[in-house]
């Protein structure tokens, strides 16, 4: 074993990205993750196993048989599958690696079955023996024990790697990565509690689920009794999510592979399993989905209607609503703004509003969708809104709450605090937030486009011209405001079909659900 030494975050990041640099020019950047993530996890498993063995030997006075007992290890590593054995391979390295991974999966069927994914390790046209030996030697340069690298620090490094892969892979990034500052905001808004169940129906690399755990850890609250649930269509991405959870020290999670719309995996009898909290960034406006099956959905998810073939957004929205606990259920969903006003979904939107499930509509600034200039919105729904919020929806115009540095857009802590404060206060804040009654929204034909209610530039709310009657403004200004407000409403209705022509952008946390 290598000499033990504490690994700094800078060392860790350099070490992790160094592995990706070795692959440059050999495979596509979008494929880095399917090779590097499993190698990192493999090395960590074996180093921790050795660390546990040393601890057991010390406790037993050097009893080798005792040290090998399964009870002394979180995961079982068959001797022939240990990293040190793989490191000895001079030829057919991919085959040796793959055999080792399968042996570890087989030795830990309850926790690790299928976790290493389906990368083509034996394809020498993509990964030569020399390339794999270089990768293995690179990963062998550090000892990834818990003493050297506690779980929270390794977890941070893993998140760094996911972010770097997203940066490096360009257009494929949004398929499994959502802007982490937006995820942080969504988690703060929902406030996860100890002992709750938390679900992401399109979980990608698991960032939203892990954000809930990080929220509790930051506050010194119990997080080990929180149960995480996620579904992800892509096999490799679902494997990465599982590895991500283990590397963060989390064990009570259920990540399954499958298409959420056509084959929801979390069911109880004849209905969907229900959760306390749902965080989601569904793939945006997918066209390849089984609309006819959803029209006769056996799980009753089409209660507000069946979305058009070209846009499955409201199918995911209804799936999430059906997955919420009837008492404690709440969700935060990241959507493009089109869901708030598109005409083709108007009837479903009106029914949703009438059901009084929507608590808040939050408009975010541009470029927060990965590699897309599109503006995003967060919709918060709650199965049991507090009495004082019933019959009302809070609309927040936070388009200006965004910072851009080095071609990256993100939310600062100040931005997040302002939005969370407005949400908790649930009151009017001219130019930023407005509490609209369902009657007022109905008067706008169910259009939830935020500028109809919160005019950021003027700091005025365009709802009823009568509200200006109590001010001391001249009559002429009142008339102008009235006509301006009506013109704006009309333009949003007339131009809504134009907004429907937004470019297709994959949703953040999932790969083609």
Q: What pLDDT score does 472 carry?
A: 36
Q: Are residues 403 and 486 in the same domain?
A: yes
What is the mean predicted confidence (pLDDT) over 373-400? 92
CATH code (residue 96): 1.20.1260.30
Q: Are residues 143 and 218 in the same domain?
A: no
Q: Are residues 121 and 87 in the same domain?
A: yes
Q: What pLDDT score does 157 carry?
A: 83
512 located within any domain: no
* Average pLDDT of the chain, as a whole number: 85
Q: Are residues 368 and 410 in the same domain?
A: yes
Per residue in 265-294, pLDDT (tens digit) is: 999 998 999 999 999 999 887 888 999 999
Q: Are residues 105 and 185 in the same domain?
A: no
- Last residue of one domain, picked from the residues 97, 113, 148: 148
Per residue in 53-98, pLDDT (tens digit) is: 999 999 999 999 999 999 999 999 999 999 999 999 999 999 999 9
pLDDT level of residue 52 (50, 70, 90 thresholds): very high
| The pair of three-digit structure tokens given for residue 435, joined into one six-digit string | 């509490």
**Selected residue with higher pLDDT from 229 and 23:** 229
Q: What pLDDT score does 54 carry?
A: 96
What is the mean predicted confidence (pLDDT) over 428-454? 94
Query: Is 336 in contact with 292 (CB distance < 8 Å)?
Result: no
Query: Is 377 in contact with 366 (CB distance < 8 Å)?
Result: no
**Selected residue with higher pLDDT from 445 and 156:** 445
Q: Are residues 301 and 444 in the same domain?
A: yes
Q: Are residues 118 and 248 in the same domain?
A: no
Per residue in 91-132, pLDDT (tens digit) is: 999 999 999 999 999 999 999 999 998 899 999 988 999 999
153 located within any domain: no
497 located within any domain: no
What is the mean predicted confidence (pLDDT) over 421-443? 95
For 180-275, list the strands marked E by DSSP: 197-200, 227-232, 253-257, 267-268, 271-272
Q: Which residues contact 467 (CB under 8 A, 6 or more apart)?
A: 461
Task: Evaluate if residue 323 carries a pLDDT over 90.
Answer: yes
279 located within any domain: yes
Per residue in 468-491, pLDDT (tens digit) is: 333 334 344 444 444 454 455 445
Per residue in 128-137, pLDDT (tens digit) is: 999 999 999 9
CA triple 299-302-308, angle to 5 deg = 135
Compute the 3-state secondary structure of the chain and give helix, strand, coil in percent, each to the nearest 5. Answer: 45, 15, 40
- Please tell me the distance from the alpha carbon of residue 415 to that of residue 435, in angstroms, as a whole number: 20
Phi, psi torsion values for 448, nearest 5 degrees: -105, 15
Task: Evaluate if residue 337 carries a pLDDT over 70.
Answer: yes
CATH code (residue 419): 3.40.50.150
pLDDT level of residue 352 (50, 70, 90 thresholds): very high
Q: Which of 3, 75, 9, 6 is nearest to 42 (CA)?
A: 75
154 located within any domain: no
Scan for tokens 């995961």, then name that residue: 75
Q: Are residues 387 and 432 in the same domain?
A: yes
Task: Evaluate if residue 451 carries a pLDDT over 50.
Answer: yes
Q: What pLDDT score does 173 carry?
A: 44
- Last residue of one domain, picked from the residues 114, 148, 182: 148
133 located within any domain: yes
Q: Are residues 195 and 128 in the same domain?
A: no
pLDDT level of residue 369 (50, 70, 90 thresholds): low
- Please tell me the distance from the alpha carbon of residue 513 to that of residue 508, in angstroms, as a whole number: 11
Q: Are residues 122 and 241 in the same domain?
A: no
- Last residue of one domain, picked from the residues 148, 163, 196: 148
The parent domain of residue 443 ranges over 173-490
Q: Are residues 392 and 304 in the same domain?
A: yes
500 located within any domain: no
CA distances (Å), origin 37, targets 18, 169, 233: 13, 15, 18
Q: Are residues 129 and 246 in the same domain?
A: no
Q: What's the structural domain count of the chain? A: 2
pLDDT level of residue 151 (50, 70, 90 thresholds): confident
Query: Is 182 in contact with 197 (CB distance < 8 Å)?
Result: no
- What percentage of the chain has pLDDT greater than the value 70? 83
What is the mean predicted confidence (pLDDT) over 6-11? 90
Per residue in 154-167, pLDDT (tens digit) is: 888 877 787 777 66
């Amino acid at each position: 074993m290598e000499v033990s030494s504490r690994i700094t975050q800078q060392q860790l990041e350099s070490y992790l990205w160094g592995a990706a640099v070795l692959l440059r020019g050999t495979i596509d950047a979008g494929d880095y993750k399917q090779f590097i993530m499993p190698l990192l996890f493999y090395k960590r498993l074996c180093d921790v196993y050795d660390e546990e063995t040393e601890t057991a030997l010390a406790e037993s006075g050097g009893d080798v048989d005792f040290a090998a007992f399964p009870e002394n290890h979180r995961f079982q590593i068959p001797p022939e599958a240990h990293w040190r054995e793989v490191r000895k391979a001079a030829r057919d390295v991919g085959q040796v690696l793959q055999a080792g991974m399968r042996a570890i999966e087989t030795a830990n069927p309850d926790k690790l079955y299928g976790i290493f994914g389906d990368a083509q390790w034996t394809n020498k046209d993509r990964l030569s023996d020399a390339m794999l030996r270089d990768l293995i030697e690179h990963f062998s340069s550090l000892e990834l024990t818990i003493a050297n690298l506690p779980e929270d620090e390794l977890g941070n490094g893993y998140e760094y790697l996911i972010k770097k892969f997203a940066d490096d892979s360009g257009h494929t990034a949004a398929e499994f990565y959502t802007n982490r500052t937006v995820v942080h905001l969504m988690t703060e808004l929902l406030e996860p509690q100890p002992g709750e169940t938390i679900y992401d129906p399109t979980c990608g690399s698991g960032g939203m689920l892990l954000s809930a755990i990080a929220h509790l850890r930051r506050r010194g609250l119990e997080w080990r009794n929180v149960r995480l649930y996620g579904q992800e269509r892509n096999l490799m991405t679902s494997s990465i999510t599982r590895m991500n959870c283990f590397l963060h020290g989390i064990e009570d999670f259920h990540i399954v592979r499958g298409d959420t719309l056509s084959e929801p995996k979390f069911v109880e009898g004849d209905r969907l399993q229900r959760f306390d909290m749902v965080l989601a960034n569904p793939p945006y406006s997918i066209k390849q989905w089984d609309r006819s099956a959803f029209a006769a959905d056996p799980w009753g998810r089409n209660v507000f209607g069946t979305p058009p073939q070209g846009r499955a957004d409201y199918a995911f929205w209804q799936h999430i609503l059906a997955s919420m606990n009837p008492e404690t259920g709440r969700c935060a969903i990241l959507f493009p703004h089109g869901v708030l006003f598109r005409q083709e979904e108007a009837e479903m939107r009106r029914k949703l509003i009438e059901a009084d499930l929507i608590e808040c509509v939050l408009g975010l600034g541009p470029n927060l969708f990965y590699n897309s200039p599109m503006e995003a919105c967060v919709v918060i729904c709650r199965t049991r809104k507090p009495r004082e919020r019933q019959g009302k929806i809070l609309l927040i115009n936070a388009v200006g709450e965004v910072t851009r540095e080095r071609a990256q857009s993100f939310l600062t802590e100040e931005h997040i605090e302002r939005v969370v404060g407005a949400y908790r206060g649930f009151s009017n804040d001219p130019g930023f937030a407005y509490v609209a009654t369902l009657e007022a929204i109905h008067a706008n034909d169910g259009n939830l486009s935020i500028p109809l209610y919160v005019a950021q530039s003027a700091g005025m709310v365009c709802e009823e011209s009568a509200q200006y009657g109590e001010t001391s403004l001249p009559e002429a200004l009142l008339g102008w405001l009235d006509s301006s407000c009506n013109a704006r409403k009309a333009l949003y209705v007339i131009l809504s079909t134009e907004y429907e022509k937004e470019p297709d952008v994959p949703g953040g946390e999932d790969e083609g659900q």
